[in-house]
């Protein structure tokens, strides 16, 4: 990763410098810098420190009356003054993460065509077939290390948003930089526009994407194959993260590419790792073991089945046979319990089907299975009903309730509902943030099971070790590393994830665990350095202004 800071002889001058966001310091240019760089008269005379400007930005944000306004203000700042944007984000992560990413990014994606101002990545359409390399060459930076790519088919819990889904790669890459110090010039967001099957999106006069039905079949596969090959040749040191692909493609593309390229699918693997970390912490809180759990997962898409796969692997790693681990995991899709007697199961669901009587609804499944934990990855709001939660509380002293669907509007239940209907005994986590809940004089701080705890650190570990592949073992190691950073103070608040304010430290420890897997499994040509933590920290981008003179 490049952390090269230009000296004054390399800098553009005058208004050109002020228009380059990676170099611009605005009113923080010093008097000698203004003399040398032709900035006198182009800036007001008062000189501010970066800390003063950061406080000014936060004051402005807090005056905004809606989260979308705050999002637009921050994106505008990123376009003008990159280091100030990241300084503000790093120093206020707990407050601003819900603005630059979920839940606000969901609304931003729904409005993306209407609020689009300037591109923040590459748009590759199906009409670029046989010319993808030329499109990639239009990107101004050659040392690309992290690529996030989506085709916009399943954006959060909002469904097919087509090209409007570009807000997801843009938002997640800003978290790579803020949470793990991946230099912004090494990050590349990509939208592969193959159309949309959402008629409301397609027929919107302001829609920026192809107004055509989605490409499917061999032509789609050929486009993705060309993309992966061209990307790996042009950016050979890059890690590629697949994001928000529909179920029809997510699993098979992961299997198609995972052993050929340095890539992963965050919805499948990152979500699973974050969920496993939360379960490790919840069980540590109540002094219980993973191998004794019975898990019901609501949903059978990429996130849900990714969770199942990693849970089964983790249980097997703690002593259960694979068969016994399978018997402790249950899945409920839109039609009911996933069982072997059903004839309507897709291939990726069949391996998780149980030889068990069919039950149509979640409440019936909970009554029959008596799970210790319910995990929501369905995108269906309100599905953890009061009756489901009351039943969980009746059969468990400390029921574990993870309502993971994003954004907040899609959550299976609210934090307040989870605590109220379990007599305040639930160990609760959600995908999007909920405010602390005060009930009968007690304050509960819900854990946010956000993938931003996992993927930035995994990326930092991959890049620092120069690993050639991303493996499930790395995500299991990341989950353990995250769990180890949850303190007794967090437990006292009912929280099973560390505060986002400590995310850079969290990411370094996850990166260390991931890099150690890469070295142990010989997934890199690099020799493990004697000071691996020092190497990782040395590669992290610092958003503090540089003195050019």
CA distance 399 to 389: 9
440 burial type by CB count under 10 A (0-12 exposed, 13-18 middle, 19+ buried):
exposed
Tokens of 227: 């993309």
| Helical spans, DSSP H, in 466-502 | 472-483, 488-492
- Residues 297-315 as b/e (b if ≥16 CB within 10 A, e otherwise) read bbbbbbbbbbbbbbbbbbb
Do residues 493 and 176 touch, judged by C-beta distance below 8 A? no
CA distance 206 to 164: 11
Residue 52's alpha-carbon distances to 46, 62, 71, 489, in angstroms, are: 12, 16, 21, 32
Residue 229's alpha-carbon distances to 32, 261, 419, in angstroms, are: 48, 9, 49
Of 299, 90, 278, 292, residue with least CA distance to 179 = 90
- The catalytic site residues sit at 101, 172
Phi, psi for residue 194 in degrees, rounded to 5: -115, 20
Do residues 125 and 210 touch, judged by C-beta distance below 8 A? yes
End-to-end CA distance of the chain: 24
12 burial type by CB count under 10 A (0-12 exposed, 13-18 middle, 19+ buried):
middle
CA torsion 529-531-537-540 (nearest 10°) is -20
344 burial type by CB count under 10 A (0-12 exposed, 13-18 middle, 19+ buried):
exposed
Residue 402 bridge partners (DSSP): 375, 429
Do residues 473 and 447 touch, judged by C-beta distance below 8 A? no
Do residues 213 and 195 touch, judged by C-beta distance below 8 A? yes
Of 440, 388, 397, residue with least CA distance to 417 = 388
């Amino acid at each position: 990763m490049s952390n090269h800071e230009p000296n004054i002889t390399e800098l553009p001058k005058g208004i050109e410098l002020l228009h380059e966001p990676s170099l611009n310091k605005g009113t923080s240019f010093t008097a000698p810098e203004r003399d040398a760089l032709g900035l006198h008269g182009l800036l007001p005379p008062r000189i501010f420190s970066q800390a003063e400007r950061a406080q000014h930005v936060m004051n402005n944000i807090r005056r905004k009356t809606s989260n979308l306004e705050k999002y637009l203000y921050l994106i505008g700042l990123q376009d003008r003054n990159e280091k100030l944007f990241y300084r503000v984000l790093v120093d206020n992560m707990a407050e601003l993460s819900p603005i630059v990413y979920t839940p606000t990014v969901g609304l931003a994606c729904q409005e993306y065509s209407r609020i689009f101002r300037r591109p923040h990545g590459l748009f590759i359409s199906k009409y670029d077939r046989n010319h993808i390399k030329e499109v990639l060459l239009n990107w101004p930076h050659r040392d690309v290390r992290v690529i996030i790519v989506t085709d916009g088919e399943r954006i959060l819990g909002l469904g097919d948003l087509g090209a409007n889904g570009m807000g997801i790669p843009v938002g997640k890459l800003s978290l790579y930089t803020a949470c793990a110090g991946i230099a912004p010039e090494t990050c590349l967001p990509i939208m592969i526009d193959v159309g949309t099957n959402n008629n409301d999106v397609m027929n919107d006069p302001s829609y920026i994407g192809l107004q055509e039905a989605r490409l499917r079949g061999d032509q789609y596969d050929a486009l993705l194959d060309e993309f992966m090959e061209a990307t790996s040749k042009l950016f050979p040191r890059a890690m590629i993260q697949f994001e928000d692909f529909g179920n029809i493609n997510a699993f098979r593309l992961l299997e198609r590419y995972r052993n050929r390229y340095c890539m992963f699918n965050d919805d499948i693997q990152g979500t699973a790792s974050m969920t496993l970390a939360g379960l490790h912490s919840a069980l540590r809180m109540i002094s219980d073991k993973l191998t004794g759990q019975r898990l019901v997962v609501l949903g059978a898409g990429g996130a849900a089945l990714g969770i199942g796969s990693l849970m089964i692997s983790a249980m097997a790693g703690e002593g259960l046979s694979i068969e016994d681990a399978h018997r402790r995991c249950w899945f409920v899709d839109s039609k009911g319990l996933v069982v072997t007697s059903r004839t309507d199961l897709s291939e990726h669901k069949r391996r998780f089907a149980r030889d068990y009587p069919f039950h149509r609804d979640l409440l019936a499944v909970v009554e029959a299975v008596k799970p210790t934990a319910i995990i929501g990855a369905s995108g269906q709001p309100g599905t953890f009903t009061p009756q489901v939660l009351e039943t969980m509380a009746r059969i468990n002293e400390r029921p574990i309730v993870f309502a993971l669907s994003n954004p907040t509007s899609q959550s299976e239940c609210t934090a307040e509902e989870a605590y109220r209907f379990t007599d305040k005994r639930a160990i609760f986590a959600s995908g999007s943030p909920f405010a602390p809940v005060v009930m009968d004089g007690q304050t509960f701080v819900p854990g946010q099971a956000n993938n931003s705890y996992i993927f930035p650190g995994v990326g930092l570990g991959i890049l620092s070790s120069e690993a050639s592949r991303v493996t499930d073992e790395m995500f299991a190691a990341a989950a353990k590393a995250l769990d180890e950073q949850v303190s007794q103070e967090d437990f006292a608040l009912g929280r099973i994830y560390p505060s986002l304010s400590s995310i850079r430290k969290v990411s370094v420890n996850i990166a260390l665990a991931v890099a150690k897997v890469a070295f142990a499994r010989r997934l890199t040509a690099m020799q493990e350095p004697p000071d691996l933590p020092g190497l990782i920290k040395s590669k992290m981008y610092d958003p503090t202004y540089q003195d050019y003179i």
